[in-house]
Amino acid sequence: MNESGDRKGRPLIEDRLGERARIYGSERALLVGLQPPGEGATDSLREVELLADTAGVPVLAHVIQKRPRPDSSTFIGKGKATEVKAVASELDAEVIIFDGELSPAQARNLEEAIGRKVIDRTQLIMDIFAQRAATKEAKLQVELAQLRYLLPRLRGWGSALTRLGGGIGTRGPGETQLELDRKKINRRIHTIERRLVKAKAERALRRKRRKISSLPQVVLVGYTNSGKSTLLNRLCGSNALVEDKLFATLSTTVRRGELDSGRWALFIDTVGFIRALPHDLIPSFAATLEAVRDADLILHIVDLDSSSLEEDYEAVLETLNREVFTTDAFRPPILNVLNKVDLIDHDGERAEFSSAGVRISAKEGTHIDGLLHRIRTVLNQDEVEASLLVPYAASDLVHRFTQQGRGTIKEYTEEGIEIEALLSTHELGRLKKAGARIIACSSFQRE
């Protein structure tokens, strides 16, 4: 269907939230990146090609510019821009994807020099999120990120986008910026922010209900496409979406799985992380970040078959430190789960990843029993017998331990509920944070 005809008669704002959050055909792309002198092809460039594949865009060729840092005017320099124009014309590429974030001036100069639509890594990731966002809140978060990205780029993009048409990287606010002036965009931003406040309250209610559950919460985190959803399906017998693409999962999924006879846990699959994640998309990870903060145990899923294994591993830890654990508050224990051993058994070098953890194959089911044993061990580690006085406001936590058979109510007093329970250090810390007072404890001094 012709894109302009598809838009005709539709309200622009609602259109962005609906059918236009997708790829319009398979635009052919040319991928452009920088390479420091003396170094080989970068993992970052390969990752952008995978992102393009996820977005449904075939990459025709790579163009590499060897220089230590981006050119302030055109990112790759005017001479290289001329070369890119010639290659794009020869291959009939419709879009030029740059591995990096272009400034508004760089994007404008490149579109004028090349004469084709130019997008950067940030726009590509936002485009994938817009295509795959399934919930109302996720769609609002993505639109908000796009609008904030668009605002400083309004000037100078108008003629280029009119001439080049829509498609990858211009979906949503990019395609409608000629019709929306700055005031209208700002009004839309404020409207979305108000709606997201309500959505946050609803998410908090769902999170509270999970906390009331007597089941420990085990959260799966990791680099995108590391195998989190496959492992969730293996542990819980569920059918969460599994694709060999980046960002196959863009929402949290909660499933119940059995740890051993009579004991269960809630396993929570989360959105995968990625290097250089666009800052404005961080709020789209709100449910993921909150689930990690509330976890009893974090499983860090590591793809042993990744060519950038160490960098991926550090990117996840950096994101957790920067976006989740921003204070000195208690952190849940983290267990490294080294996935895809079936792909590296005959590659000694790849098997030498130094981080200690449980080696498994979520796809083949290899060593899953060993993983469950480690999960049980970590959840039960440092358990102590304690007597506590818990305020009535935290009675839901008391219910959790009594339901599991690990706590007994001794007395109801004016100050709260006196209980005796077998607790992990994390659980004890959670009760103290909720206002509980320790009466007696085998390894903690009374405070």
CA distances from 184 to 191, 197, 212 (A): 10, 20, 43
Q: Please name which of 291, 136, 135, 137 lies closest in space to residue 206, comparing C-alpha atoms.
A: 291
Q: How confident is the model at residue 311 (pLDDT cuts 50, 70, 90)?
A: confident
Q: Please state, for a pLDDT cut of 70, what percent of the chain lies above it.
A: 73
Q: Taking 50 as the threshold, does the pLDDT of residue 162 lie above it?
A: no
pLDDT at position 11: 31
Cβ atoms of residues 426 and 296 within 8 Å: yes
pLDDT at position 249: 58
Cβ atoms of residues 418 and 388 within 8 Å: yes
pLDDT at position 262: 60
pTM: 0.71
Quote the mean pLDDT of the chain: 77
Would you state the structure tokens that stand for residue 205, as one six-digit string?
């209610």
Q: Taking 50 as the threshold, does the pLDDT of residue 163 lie above it?
A: no
Asked if CATH classification 3.40.50.150 holds for the domain at 3-184, the reply, yes or no, is: no
CA distances from 100 to 71, 120, 214, 308 (A): 12, 6, 46, 18
- Convert 221-247 to b/e letters by CB count within 10 Å (16 or more is b): bbbbbbbbbbbbbbbbebebebeebbb
CA distances from 167 to 139, 174, 315 (A): 18, 9, 30
- In one letter, which amino acid is 405? G
Cβ atoms of residues 168 and 96 within 8 Å: no
**What's the whole-number mean pLDDT along residues 16-29?**
48
Q: Taking 60 as the threshold, does the pLDDT of residue 242 lie above it?
A: no
Q: Taking 60 as the threshold, does the pLDDT of residue 89 lie above it?
A: yes
Cβ atoms of residues 13 and 180 within 8 Å: no
What is the rounded CA–CA span in Å between residue 41 and residue 256?
43
Q: How far apart are the first and last CA of the chain?
A: 70
* Architecture of the domain delimited by 213-380: 3-Layer(aba) Sandwich (3.40)
Among 82-86, 238-242, 262-266, 371-375, which is the least confidently predicted range? 238-242
CATH number of 384-441: 3.30.70.240
What is the bridge-based pairing of β-strands 384-390 and 297-303? Answer: unpaired
Among 66-75, 103-112, 179-188, which is the least confidently predicted range? 179-188
| Residue of higher predicted confidence among 377 and 235 | 235
Q: Give me the phi and psi of 95, to 5 degrees please.
A: -145, 140
What is the rounded CA–CA span in Å between residue 102 and residue 84?
16
pLDDT at position 360: 93
**What's the whole-number mean pLDDT along residues 83-96?**
93
What is the rounded CA–CA span in Å between residue 200 and residue 141?
11
Q: How confident is the model at residue 443 (pLDDT cuts 50, 70, 90)?
A: low
Please spell the DSSP secondary structure of 66-118, one letter per residue. E-SS-BTTTBS-HHHHHHHHHHHHHHT-SEEEESSPPPHHHHHHHHHHH-SEE
Q: How confident is the model at residue 1 (pLDDT cuts 50, 70, 90)?
A: very low
- β-bridge partners, 300: 221, 336
Cβ atoms of residues 59 and 32 within 8 Å: no
pLDDT at position 188: 87
pLDDT at position 23: 36
pLDDT at position 13: 31
Q: How confident is the model at residue 361 (pLDDT cuts 50, 70, 90)?
A: very high
pLDDT at position 67: 87
* All structural domains of the chain with their residue ranges: 3-184, 213-380, 384-441
**What's the whole-number mean pLDDT along residues 222-236?**
90
pLDDT at position 4: 38
CA distances from 307 to 197, 311, 377 (A): 40, 9, 31
Q: Taking 60 as the threshold, does the pLDDT of residue 272 lie above it?
A: yes
| Residue of higher predicted confidence among 375 and 260 | 375
How crowded is residue 384: how many other Cβ atoms within 10 Å of its Cβ? 15
Cβ atoms of residues 268 and 217 within 8 Å: yes
Would you state the structure tokens that stand for residue 355, as one six-digit string?
């981080």
Q: Do domains 3-184 and 213-380 have the same CATH topology?
A: yes
